[in-house]
Structure 1
Amino acid sequence: MNTGQHLLGPHVVGTRVVVRRVVPGEQGPTGGPALTDLLGECVAWSSGADGTCVVRPADGPDVEIALRDIVSGKPVPPRPSVRSRVTPEQAQRHAFALFPDLVTEPVGSWVLRDSATATARRAHSVLAFGPSGVEDDVARVVAHYERPVAAVLTHSPEHERLLSLGWVPESRDGSTVFQVAGTAQVARALRRGTTMSTTEPVLDEAVPGAWARAEIEGLATGYAGFADDWVGFAGIEVSPTARRQGLGRAVMAALLDWGAEQGATTAYLQVLDDNRPALALYEALGFREHHRYCYLTTTAVSSAG
């Protein structure tokens, strides 16, 4: 058995690796030594005749492997975070929390959304991410809304299907970018570097444990929704006369603290893809693109829009 030919060494400590190793004392199905693969983080490496590699799998205790028993191995990319493994449709469902009075109705796997108070398109459109699974999906959407609007993943089959049926862009906006980040990472970034206002926002928890609004003396506002350990931000606005004073960051920090108190570990927000200053700011705070989507309607965009 030719062992020791691999891409491992002290340099992989702290990274994710896959190791194929001999299982001492066990026989494989062909009569030779038994082999097994182990995936996890390399937490220790010692060289020499009796050197060992210690791998920490995602589940279970650390495994110590004699270097002489390693058949092959290599570093592998880090496992995507839990929030990155959430589907776009699941992420959008988390964002329902931004509208406390949102009423939803299924059309197969699509979701009709309505709100008596919100004006955002997200509260007055069908969430059409993926096949609906029902034959009359489009007809039911058209019958439900006075002005039918559909949110679809950009360049998805649903996007192309609705365009082929004569639907058009709902506005002159481009795609909306749904971004996510860890709450701890955002909290650190908000308090580091750029100056943040020391003025404490007034927090109004309109729906205890689910929805809150923060405001600084009429100069800056924003709101957040919490559900299932996700906190989302929306409506972060600063008066033109009060910009570059850190007021928006202070509002976000107050809402983030509120979300963390509810148990949030993931933060999210949504921004138009042509809003480069906002995208740069949010990237600096640790937010990364999760998916992007756009809105279609059956009514053509006005030339004055």
Structure 2
Amino acid sequence: MPAHLLGPHVVGKRIVIRRLVPGETGPTGGPAFTDILGVCTSWADGTAVIERESGEQVSVPVAEIVSGKPVPPRPNVRLRIGVREAELLSAAIFPGTTSEALGEWVLFDHEVSVRRRPNSALAIGDPGIGLDAAIDAIETFYRSRHKRPRAKIEVGSAAEEALVARDWVEDVTVEFQLAGLAATRRILPPPVEDARVETVAGTDGAQVLITLGDTARIMGTMERDWLAIHDLEVAESHRRQGLATKALATLLEWGAERGARAAWLHVETTNDPGLALYESLGFTEHHRCRYFSSPTP
């Protein structure tokens, strides 16, 4: 009877084991032991395979394991990101976006795209002036470009209160979700081998479009060691067939090959299927943002 309760049920979990080192003598003259910490990737045919943090795979005969236990996942330092820094990652998704600083606020503009994200002010942090004056500056900036003024704020912030007081119109609320790449990849199925993977022109290889025939598509953008997940679409006639997870698996492999350590995405709070999918893959809510539009176009 082993002195531990490890077995096939710990595959995919982080564990620490103490193993006997055959043929070696310990410092007190008895048997030699060594400890191994990592994620158990296999437990079969009398052998446990443990992946260290470095990526090294260590095969250990089960008979040589003298003790061991599961341990909590190692915190991913990339997940300790501030709200403003996290939201600034969005800029890389839309090549050609220009911006103007207003203290810590950032006013984004895109000449081609009409989408919300690259054409809104990121009103998070200290604008360096009073909130009313800062909102006036947003209105001036976008109206000079013949666009309706829009702002993205952190839910519950003073900026939100100021916009509401000026009758700005609430648009959508989104969750910023993130996950450690390695942990999520262990949950996902294998990537799709015959997926079409196309690097987007003009992004220096930092952005990719992945398509699974005519059934699903997804895009990803690398910014440092962060992988943004966006534009996931599955044809209506092919939904609930696991295509979204297959597309995500293929994208995360692409990101891992380029050094990504964390993945993030925005999902609207009314998108129940999306929220359920990402929760099942280990994504967690970091914060919520809300878009507002000026009361007049």
Tell me, yes or no, whether TM beats 0.5.
yes
Aligned-partner Cα distance in 2 for 1:198–1:231? 19
TM-superposed CA distance for 1:220, in Å, is 0.8
- Matched to 1:190, the amino acid is L
Instruction: Name the residue aligned to 2:22.
Output: none
Which residues in structure 2 correspond to 1:278-297 (within 5 Å)? Answer: 278-297=274-293
Report if the CA contact (8 A) 1:187-1:253 is conserved: yes
Q: Structure 1 residue 244 and structure 2 residue 240: aligned?
A: yes
Structure 2 match to 1:89:
84
- Paired residues of 1:94 and 1:228 also in contact (CA < 8 A): no
**Offset of residue 262 of structure 1:** 1.7
Gaps of 5+ in 2: 1-16, 19-71
Match of 2:28 in 1: none
SS at match of 1:116: coil
Counterpart CA distance in 2 for 1:185 and 1:84 is 13
* Alignment equivalent of 1:114, drawn from 101, 109, 113: 109
How is 1:138-217 mapped onto 2 (pairs within 5 angstroms)? Answer: 138-145=135-142, 146-169=147-170, 171=171, 173=172, 175-191=173-189, 198=192, 200-206=194-200, 207-217=203-213
Q: Which has the larger Rg?
A: 1
Partners of 1:118 and 1:222 lie apart in 2 by 18
**TM-aligned CA distance change 1:127 to 1:81, over 3 Å:** same
After superposition, the Cα gap between the structure-2 partners of 1:233 and 1:79, relative to the gap in structure 1 and judged at 3 Å, is: closer
SS of aligned partner of 2:136: helix
Quickly say closer, same or farther: Cα 1:298–1:198, change in 2 above 3 A.
closer
Aligned CA distance change for structure 1 residues 114 and 250 (closer, same or farther; 3 Å): same
Confirm or deny: 8 A CA contact 2:93 2:221 kept in the other structure.
Answer: yes
Quick one: which amino acid aligns to residue 265 of structure 1? R
Q: How high is the TM-score relative to the length of structure 2?
A: 0.68
Aligned match for 1:130, one of 102, 125, 135: 125
Per the alignment, do residues 187 and 89 of structure 1 end up closer, same or farther by CA in structure 2, a change over 3 Å counting? same
Kindly tell me: are residues 260 and 132 of structure 1, through their superposed partners in 2, closer, same or farther at Cα, counting changes over 3 Å?
same
Q: CA RMSD in A?
A: 2.5
Deviation at 1:264, TM superposition (A): 0.8
Aligned residues: 221
Counterpart for residue 219 of structure 1: 215
* 1: CA distance, partners of 2:251 / 2:295: 37
Q: Following TM superposition, by how much is the alpha carbon of 1:125 offset from its aligned partner in structure 2, in angstroms? A: 0.2
Residue 222 of structure 1 contacts residue 237 of structure 1 at CA under 8 Å; is this kept in 2?
Answer: yes
Q: How far apart in 2 are the matches of 1:290 and 1:218?
A: 33
Closer, same or farther: CA 79–131 of 1 in aligned 2, 3 Å: farther
Gaps of 5+ in 1: 1-42, 45-76
Q: What does residue 257 of structure 1 align with?
A: 253
**Equivalents in 2 of 1:134, 1:204: separation in Å?**
44
Aligned twin of 1:103: 98
State the Cα distance separating 1:104 from its structure 2 match.
1.6
Distance in 1 (alpha carbons) for counterparts of 2:287 and 2:80: 11
In the other structure, the counterpart of 1:268 is: 264
Q: Amino acid of the residue matched to residue 291 of structure 1?
A: H
| Alpha-carbon distance, 1:250 to partner | 2.1
User: Match of 1:204, SS?
Assistant: strand
Segment of structure 1 superposing worse, 232-241 or 198-207: 198-207
The structural deviation recorded for 1:300 is 6.2
Kindly provide the amino acid, as one letter, of the partner of residue 127 in structure 2. S
Kept after mapping to 1: 8 A contact 2:148/2:293: yes
SS of the residue aligned with 1:233?
strand
Whichever residue aligns with residue 107 of structure 1, its letter is: L
In structure 2, the CA distance between the partners of 1:261 and 1:80, relative to structure 1 (3 Å rule), is closer
| Match in the other structure for 2:13 | none
CA displacement, residues 276-296 of structure 1 (integer Å, 9 cap, x when unaligned):
221111011110001101011
Taking the TM superposition and a 5 Å limit, the aligned residue runs for 1:3-14 are none
Write out aligned runs for 1:34-45 (5 A). none
Normalization by structure 1: what TM-score? 0.67
